[in-house]
Amino acid sequence: MLIVGCDYHPGFQQIAFVDTETGELQERRLQHREEAERFYRDLASRGVQVRVGMEASGHARWFERLLAELQLELWIGDAAEIRAKRVRKQKTDRQDAQHILSLLVQERFPRIWVADWENRDLRQLLWHRHRMVQTRTRIMNQLQAVALNEGLRCKKRLWGKKGRQQLEGLRLAPWATRRRRDLLELLDRLNPLIAELTQAIEQEVEKHAEAQRLMTHPGVGCVDSTGLCTGDRNRGAVSVRQANRELSRFGSGGRERRRLGHISKQGSAILRFFLVEAAQVTIRSVPEWRSKFFHLAMRRGRKIAKVAMARRLAVHLFWMWRKQWDYQQLKEFGPYAGKPGTGVGVH
């Protein structure tokens, strides 16, 4: 068997590999992508059993597809844990590759779970819609600024038929007129695009009972539930489990501890966004949550209170996923049911 420690960079990869039968150790620097592809295709054509280990990083999707096509085993490791296992402070590409190889040989490589290609493509749909909504929000904010500068204060009514007519009827300077026209054209193009992406997400929700079950919780919509359920469905794992892990921090000595009201920033950014967004809707729709939010906001401020409620929502969704409950079952049978405000449990 050939074990390969790979220090991956966007333009090249430094590898150190050893043959477990002969003990021969070699090192190479492979340029992307022709030289690297030729090297691994040659190994596959010779029928060599290969295991490649690398740190979790970006810009490596083509490399993962290549190894999957050639049926070569790929292990992706936690970059922070790999760094923590390093003894020497000196750091070069060669030493990184050798370090990954030693962890693989010693069976100490911190392998992490990686989603399948179907789920990763679904995440692209979520990211694409998310970015389009952000772009639309920026455009709408600019148009609101144009209206306010001309004394037109309509807030949400600006996007109705009457508000649009008032905005288009404002007398502006030539370049300000051009800016308004271009922004309105972009807005008109984005609205149907976002509606189409939202419809695609709703169709994905219909395929998965997990997402439909999470949507029974107040404040959780189709986009939020799909974002939370982009895990390995064959193993029953969802990103709610990831959200639950993100609620934890590590204390001194590597001991795990929980910090109530905080969400780690080491996890998925879009998952945190979905949790905070859904929590704000839940606050508006559930009196108990609204009361808890204002109580926290008076003590710690609105920003911390929002994150605290997002954390509470993540705990609720985790228990719904773990027990395969809908929201009514969670209220009736959840731990510490009927005792709001307790420090432990889902209520």
Domain ranges of the chain: 2-105, 117-207, 210-333
Q: Which of the two residues, 115 and 266, has the higher pLDDT score?
A: 115
Q: What pLDDT shows up at residue 332?
A: 81
Please name which of 59, 51, 62 lies closest in space to residue 100, comparing C-alpha atoms: 51
Q: Which of the two residues, 4 and 331, has the higher pLDDT score?
A: 4
The overall pTM is greater than 0.85: no
Q: What pLDDT shows up at residue 265?
A: 67
> Is pLDDT of 250 > 50?
no
Per-residue model confidence as pLDDT tens digits over 133-184 = 999 999 999 999 999 999 999 889 999 999 999 999 999 999 999 999 999 9
Q: What pLDDT shows up at residue 235?
A: 39
Q: How confident is the model at residue 315 (pLDDT cuts 50, 70, 90)?
A: confident
> Is pLDDT of 254 > 60?
no
Q: What pLDDT shows up at residue 237?
A: 39
Domain 2-105 has CATH 3.40.50.10860: no
Burial class (CB in 10 A: 0-12, 13-18, 19+), 189: exposed
Q: What pLDDT shows up at residue 319?
A: 85
What residues have CB less than 8 Å from 185, skipping those under 6 apart? none
Per-residue model confidence as pLDDT tens digits over 100-111 = 999 999 999 999
Q: What pLDDT shows up at residue 248?
A: 47
Task: Give whole-number Cα distances, 346 to 18, 310, 315, in Å.
Answer: 50, 13, 6
Per-residue model confidence as pLDDT tens digits over 171-229 = 999 999 999 999 999 999 999 999 999 999 999 998 888 889 999 999 999 888 888 77
Q: What pLDDT shows up at residue 198?
A: 94
